[in-house]
């Protein structure tokens, strides 16, 4: 994940909450509604409330899981600034000190470190995180780790964008967000059947005018049906597989 990690450190991490709309609490509320509508919520057993957020970013899903009664919620990300932003948001909301546990590391291999097999009530990997993995085999292995970590009846929710349909010409320029002081656009360059190179162009307003910063990183072209099939191959039961908010495919699976 070196390319994605460096890309976020160099360009996106400091602007990530702005990309989500600028209001972390509002973004978390939207994710809480999404998860609740899927039936993801903590039960009454105090020993069955552990949740894990893979690729948590500034914590929209982590805060949503905490709001649904999960505790502790292990928040995994490679960005220390984003984990610090999550910790600060949790503290501002008056959350219990140990309710959220930040873990700064690659999501590959994080689950065996974070939890014992068959002990986790909910695992989410949202915000288009799966395509950041280096290869499709890493996605398959991660989903097998998810299946091993979940307790019976435990929930898995992943959101990712299906980039298998190739865009052409100016369609490859995708506006992300624009405000009076910032403008972010991404450009897609198709490398092969499995990979697209994402070029992010960030304009920020300075005292002397607009300044441009750019960075690029590879993303996997994951077909929604393929990801669902990998969940089934790992032993999970797919309950919901549709396109949801912001054009992201929402995949909800449960461990039998």
Domain residues of the chain, as ranges? 2-163+222-254, 169-220
pLDDT of residue 1 exceeding 70, the answer is: no
Report residue 3's pLDDT band, with 50, 70 and 90 as the boundaries. Answer: confident
Give 197's strand partners: 189, 218
Distance (Å, whole) CA 188 – CA 185 = 10
Lowest mean pLDDT among 130-144, 199-213, 235-249: 235-249
pLDDT of residue 83 exceeding 60, the answer is: yes
Contact 145, 175 (CB under 8 A): no
Cα–Cα distances (Å) from 138 to 143, 165, 176, in that order, read 9, 22, 27
Q: Could you give the percent of the chain with pLDDT greater than 70? A: 99
Report residue 2's pLDDT band, with 50, 70 and 90 as the boundaries. Answer: low
User: According to DSSP H, which parts of 155-248 are helical?
Assistant: 224-233
Task: Answer whether CATH 2.20.25 is correct for domain 169-220.
Answer: yes
CATH number of 2-163+222-254: 3.40.50.150
Distance (Å, whole) CA 229 – CA 220 = 16
Predicted confidence (pLDDT) per residue in 137-184, tens digit:
999 999 999 999 999 999 999 999 999 999 999 999 999 999 999 999
More confident residue, 205 or 1: 205
Contact 224, 237 (CB under 8 A): no
pLDDT of residue 45 exceeding 90, the answer is: no
Print burial letters for 19-32: b (CB count within 10 Å at least 16), e (below 16): bbeeebeebbebbb
Strands 195-206 and 182-190 turn out to be antiparallel
């Amino acid at each position: 994940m070196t390319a994605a990690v460096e890309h976020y450190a160099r360009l996106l991490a400091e602007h990530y909450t702005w990309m989500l709309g600028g209001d972390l609490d509002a973004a978390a509320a939207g994710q809480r509604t999404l998860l609740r509508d899927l039936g993801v919520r903590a039960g009454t057993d105090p020993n069955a409330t552990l949740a894990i957020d893979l690729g948590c970013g500034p914590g929209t899903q982590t805060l949503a899981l905490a709001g649904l009664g999960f505790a502790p919620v292990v928040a995994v990300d490679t960005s220390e600034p984003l984990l610090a932003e999550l910790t600060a948001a949790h503290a501002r909301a008056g959350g219990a000190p140990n309710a959220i546990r930040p873990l700064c590391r690659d999501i590959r291999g994080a689950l065996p470190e974070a939890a014992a097999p068959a002990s986790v009530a909910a695992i989410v990997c949202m915000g288009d995180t799966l395509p950041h993995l280096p290869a499709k085999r890493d996605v398959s292995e991660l989903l097998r780790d998810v299946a091993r970590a979940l307790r019976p009846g435990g929930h898995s929710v992943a959101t990712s964008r299906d980039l298998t349909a190739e865009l052409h010409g100016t369609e490859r320029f995708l506006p992300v967000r624009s405000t009076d002081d910032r403008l972010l656009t991404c450009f897609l360059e198709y490398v092969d059947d499995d990979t697209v190179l994402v070029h992010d162009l960030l304009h920020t307003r300075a005292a002397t005018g607009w300044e441009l910063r750019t960075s690029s990183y590879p993303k996997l072209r994951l077909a929604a049906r393929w990801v669902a099939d990998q969940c089934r191959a790992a032993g999970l039961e797919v309950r919901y597989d549709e396109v949801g908010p912001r054009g992201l495919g929402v995949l909800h699976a449960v461990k039998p």
